[in-house]
Structure 1
Amino acid sequence: MSAHTMRIDPRQLATLVGSRLCHDLVSPIGAIGNGIELLELSDDFPGLTQTPEMRLIADSVSAAQNRLQSFRIAFGHASSDQSITTAQLKKLLSGMMAHRRIKVDLIAYGTFPHDHIRMVLLATMCLEHALSKGGNVTVRHSETGWKLTADAEETRADTALWAWLDQTETPPQRNPSPSPSEVQFLLLAEAAADCGRALSWELTGRGAGIAF
């Protein structure tokens, strides 16, 4: 290989891998969902789909499908020339938090760039991490940008983790290496930098907020 061979940016490579994984998982999970629907329509197994075991499978498949749709945007390749409507965003947020103890309210109107919605989903995942015992999240869009706020009886107040959202070279008290379940914090900071968006956050014992 030539020493001058162009190499792909690691961040772009990561988003392409994320897109590929989500794309390849959608089909088999969708097939399982279709199979469950066929069982529900069949007369050969009366009462089968109403058993606790089948309802658990059906609910799990539905939750996986909804999360995958959100993951495709949050962890996949985001193109600035693509757009997402408010109705689509509402469906993505609802699907992401389905079967969780978190209620999401969306206050937004219009159509938004794909890369901005990616930031919204990543920010929602950051708030989800803080609301380990459940709570409420409000996603609001205005002329000044996006503001996401969360409130709960108790939050996971890990300021060292949230310091990854600080857009400085050496933020104080930063976690050395987030776990896989915390990767959204790194990705949100990178996405904000790529979009040229200023990112701010706050975290208290009973609430959290992210704005950009």
Structure 2
Amino acid sequence: MTVDTMPIAAGDLAALLGSRLCHDLVSPLGAIGNGVELLEMSTDFPGIAQSAEMRLIAEAVAAARTRIQAYRMAFGMAQGDQRIGRAELGRLLEGIAAQGRLQITLDAAGDFPRPEIRMLTLALMCVETALPWGGRVIVLRDGAAWRLVAECDRARVDPDLWAWLDGRQPRPLAPSEVHFALLAEAARAQSRPLRHEFDATGGEIAF
């Protein structure tokens, strides 16, 4: 008997892979984090919780877990009926800011469709690329519209990278730049036009 199967789009296949990788990495990181907490509470190792070595391990685990959470939002599957609460989004942005050079302020209320948060996370990665020396970002939501407004003392803007958001592909992307292509793809899938403008002191992405 022949069973017909629905083909998986290339973008969905990549998102499934991203979800699988993030899921499989979360468990061992959680185990390491739990082990660190148990060591800190143990009476067999007095003072270990205040040691520089233990603090380094704990901070590294926290940073990895935060980064994987951001990757799960950006690169994983995003079904239209899934929603993200304001508190969860706030924690995600706080974690991203804590592990990088951006100061991120969230100005939004309610809960949000997961595909929008996927686009938001990818857009934030694009802003990080343009602001490698740090800066300030305000994330605003008005109705269904999002704006990421960035200010900085010094930016690095590569026009060939930002051209990907306009549907042009002037050069291949490095692995560290893949979020530009993914944001453009997500915008097309959601029928949400992208608008962006950046110069030496900042700019914005809107969708």
TM-score (normalizing by structure 1): 0.92
Aligned equivalent of 1:148: 148
Structure 1: tracts of 5 or more residues without a match: none
CA-CA distance at 1:49 after TM superposition: 2.4
Taking the aligned partners of 1:191 and 1:40, their CA distance within structure 2 comes to 43
In structure 1, what residue type is equivalent to 2:171?
P
Taking the aligned partners of 2:193 and 2:54, their CA distance within structure 1 comes to 47
Aligned equivalent of 1:205: 200
Cα offsets for 1:100-141 (capped at 9, x unmatched): 221100000011101011101110111011110011111000
User: SS state of the match for residue 146, structure 1?
Assistant: strand
CA-CA distance at 1:206 after TM superposition: 1.0
Q: Is 2:189 the partner of 1:189?
A: no
Taking the aligned partners of 1:81 and 1:165, their CA distance within structure 2 comes to 25
Q: Is 2:93 the partner of 1:98?
A: no
Aligned equivalent of 1:21: 21
| Native 8 Å contact 1:159 1:203 kept in 2 | no
Cα offsets for 1:137-160 (capped at 9, x unmatched): 110000360000111110111111
Aligned equivalent of 1:128: 128
Structure 2: tracts of 5 or more residues without a match: none
% identical aligned pairs: 52
Q: Is 2:157 the partner of 1:162?
A: no
CA-CA distance at 1:99 after TM superposition: 2.6
Q: Is 2:182 the partner of 1:176?
A: no
User: SS state of the match for residue 132, structure 1?
Assistant: coil
Root-mean-square deviation (Å): 1.5
TM-score (normalizing by structure 2): 0.94
Write out the 4+ residue segments of structure 1 that deviate beyond 6 Å after TM superposition. Answer: none
